[in-house]
Amino acid sequence: MIPAVVAKNLCHTYGEGTRALDGVDITVRGGEFVSLLASNGSGKTTLLKLMSGLLKLQDGSLEINGEDVRRLKQEKLYRTVGVTFQNPDDQLFGSTVGEDVAFGPRNMGLAEDEVQKRVLRSLSIVGAEGLAGRAIHHLSYGQKKRVALAGAMAMEPSMLLLDEPTAGLDPAGEASIMRLLGEINRKRGVTVVLATHSIDMLPLFADKIYVLKSGRVIKHGDPEAVFTSHELLEDAGLRLPYVSSLIHKMK
């Protein structure tokens, strides 16, 4: 099976001289739940932007479902990859929830009945079916997160790229969003690539974790392999999940 993502020796430098990525290699297989784990400023958001086509590739190679991202038509990429940003207010602009979620399918040129089917289906998937007529500015922050995810799911992507999807949520909200993403991944077969520095829920959901520091991958593997490297995590400005930390202290 062709991997969903293959990145080799990715490098990216911003105009002011910041080296955001420095030789990153990553492979994501179809159907995997993969986390890019890093403290702020370590390159995880830049990596997502390259994978979603929001930034142009400078150096290295990047393939999405076996196709070179430099030759992949934007329309096809947007249908393949769904994206949610850290702040949902950067993504939501419709007057109502239903109008916002309908934006992507309408721009695909779908018939209006199919657009509405996708709106209702995607809102149902994220548990927000009762919000279709609600004004965006009347939503709570957690509801905005779900609506942004519904907008991505309305495009019926095979892969979701999520930048800090639990940022700004309380523990209950964080757990709820992570369970939702786990269901989308396992029940619907959607590949999930999640950039975060929030650690505690990852052992329950992630198949594979890449730890980044200063634009480089310094460790990758399954949660057990990563979270037994407590000194490496500390060096990357991260900590162990609370459960792992407790077990480590009891040894």
pLDDT tens digits, one per residue of 127-159: 999 999 999 999 999 999 999 999 999 999 999
Residue 75's pLDDT band (cuts 50, 70, 90): confident
Task: Judge whether 249 lies within some domain.
Answer: yes
Q: Containing domain of residue 201, as a range?
A: 1-65+193-251
Task: Judge whether 28 lies within some domain.
Answer: yes
Q: How far is CA 54 from CA 49, 78, 82, 131, 174, in A?
A: 5, 10, 12, 29, 26
Please tell me whether residue 9 adopts helix, strand or coil conformation: strand
Query: From the CB of residue 220, how many other CB atoms can be counted at a distance below 10 Å?
Result: 18
Task: Judge whether 37 lies within some domain.
Answer: yes
pLDDT at 246: 38
Task: Judge whether 225 lies within some domain.
Answer: yes
Question: The domain spanning residue 237 has which CATH number?
Answer: 3.40.50.300
> Where is average pLDDT lowest: 82-91, 109-118, 225-234?
225-234
Distance (Å, whole) CA 220 – CA 32? 14
How many structural domains is the chain composed of?
Answer: 1
Q: Which residue's entry shows tokens 């109008």?
A: 99
